[in-house]
Amino acid sequence: MSLLAVDGLTVRFGGRAVVDGVDLHIEEGEVLALLGPSGCGKSTSLRAIAGLQRADEGRIVLEGRSLSAPFVPPERRGVGLVFQDGAVFPHLSVRRNLGFGLQGLPKPERTQRVGELLALLGLDGLGDRMPHQLSGGQRQRVALGRALGPRPRLLLLDEPFASLDAALKVSLREDLFALLRSLRTTALLVTHDQDEALEVADRVAVMHEGRVEQVGTAEAILERPATPFVAGFVGGGALVPVTVEGGCVVWGSQRVPCGRPDGDASLVVRADDLSVGEGWSATATGSRVRGARRATRVTLDGGVAVDVVGVHEGAVSVRLERVRFVGSE
């Protein structure tokens, strides 16, 4: 049995389904990322799981206990919450912020737990500081510690690094997700950052217009995208219509073995999948930086634009080095 089971989750605003029949299952100790563009319904899904938003339809079950029928209020769900802005209490010290959710414990046990959290989060020596005396990364560590303090069965993270600068975001997420794994904490991460989702999550659920289009490992999402949206959104690929003849993709003058039945198909093509050489005639029109390298935008005969590394502007022919279908098994 999954630790969290969400089946048919639907949330409507003004008669429109912003979350439309979402199914999510998270195993104990797993980190699942809910990835998608702004407005796709991912944060609303998280809020419904947390009890901050009532669902119109569907079932939410945590450790075999229904949270949706009857409705269980947020404070009784046993989940921890971390939001984008950290949401620490500005009038409380770090130590008192961390102890806020531990009021039911005897004082000696509460003091011990706060000390453990300070050490786990790298906040030793900062317990008496106020939030305005902390950096953005330190405040976010306090927010995480406050959520982890009561030892929740499920941790919900809603864009927790979005307000941080790029360098701090990368180092903090590496530290915090290493901590979560050491604690075997089950977590649902909501993010629009595909690098974040692919790097830290055990599995990724890609969401679009209120629906989950694919759930899988980072490798499965990148190498076997289930839908055109997933293919284009994750990994920055271009969709290229091709024909398969005799078990080969016809790529201009090139025939690339693929082991797929003959007929029309769609390839997802990324910059590293192409090289200069006999294949498909194209026109290179301009370059742009992709990570540490510069790629050139190339328009194939037929009008589809793709990126290619190591190409100069002008007429060119590009070879297909790797075949990756959309919707393939």
Q: DSSP for 215-257, please give it.
A: EE-HHHHHHS-SSHHHHHHSS--EEEEEEEETTEEEETTEEEE
* Averaged pLDDT for residues 141-160: 93
pLDDT at 79 over 60: yes
Q: Domain for residue 106, yes or no? A: yes
3-class secondary-structure state, position 285: strand
Q: Does residue 214 sit in the same domain as residue 303?
A: no
Range of the domain at 296: 236-320
Residue 298: which pLDDT band, with cuts at 50, 70 and 90? Answer: confident
Q: Is residue 329, in this structure, part of any structural domain at all?
A: no
Residue 262: exposure state from Cβ atoms within 10 A (0-12, 13-18, ≥19): exposed
User: Which pLDDT belongs to residue 314?
Assistant: 74
Nearest by Cα to 274 from 249, 298, 244: 298
Verify that 100 and 14 share a domain, yes or no.
yes
24 has pLDDT over 90: yes
What pLDDT score does 282 carry? 86
Confidence bin at 292 (pLDDT 50/70/90): low
Within a domain: 326: no
Do 93 and 132 have their domain in common?
Answer: yes
Q: Are 287 and 307 in contact (CB under 8 A)?
A: no
Are 206 and 244 in a shared domain? no
Angle at which helices 166-182 and 136-148 cross, to 10° = 20
| 33 has pLDDT over 70 | yes
Per-residue pLDDT at 296: 83
Is 221 found in the same domain as 97? yes
pLDDT of 19 > 90? The answer is yes
Per-position b or e across 95-112, b if 16+ CB within 10 A of its CB: bebbbebbeebeeeebee
Lowest mean pLDDT among 54-63, 69-78, 230-239, 290-299: 290-299
Residues 107 and 191 in one domain: yes
Mean pLDDT taken over the chain: 91
Specify if 325 maps to a domain: no
Average pLDDT for 242-262: 93
Mean local confidence (pLDDT), 76-87:
87
Task: Look at residue 291 in the predicted model and tell me its pLDDT.
Answer: 56
Instruction: Express each pLDDT in 106-119 by its tens digit.
Output: 999 999 999 999 99
Going by pLDDT thresholds of 50, 70 and 90, the confidence category of residue 46 is very high
pLDDT tens-digit readout, 122-146:
899 999 999 999 998 899 899 999 9
Does residue 91 fall inside a structural domain?
yes
**Comparison of pLDDT for 87 and 274, the residue scoring more:** 274
CATH number at residue 151: 3.40.50.300
Taking CA 61 as the corner, what is the angle to CA 184 and CA 145, rounded to the nearest 5 degrees?
A: 35
Q: Is residue 179 part of a domain?
A: yes
Q: Name which of 3-7, 44-48, 86-90, 153-157 the model is least confident about.
A: 86-90
Residue at a domain's end among 201, 226, 251: 226
Whether residue 297 sits in one domain with residue 256: yes
What's the rounded Cα separation, in Å, for the pair 263 and 244? 5
In a domain, residue 50? The reply is: yes
What is the DSSP secondary structure assignment for residue 129, as one 8-state letter?
Answer: -
Check whether 60 has a pLDDT greater than 90.
yes
Report yes or no: 74 and 83 within 8 Å, Cβ to Cβ. Answer: no
How many domains does the chain divide into? 2
In the listed set 207, 226, 245, which residue is the last one of a domain according to the structure?
226
Query: Are 33 and 58 part of one and the same domain?
Result: yes
Domain end marker among 226, 250, 269: 226
Residues 104 and 248 in one domain: no
Give percent of the chain above pLDDT 90: 69
Question: What would the mean pLDDT of 195-222 be, rounded to a whole number?
Answer: 96
**pLDDT of amino acid 288:** 64
User: What band does 295 get if pLDDT is binned at 50, 70 and 90?
Assistant: confident
In a domain, 231, yes or no: no
Task: For residues 162 and 195, state if they share a domain.
Answer: yes
Average pLDDT estimate for 186-214: 96
Q: Does 219 lie in the same domain as 295?
A: no
Residues 308 and 189 in one domain: no
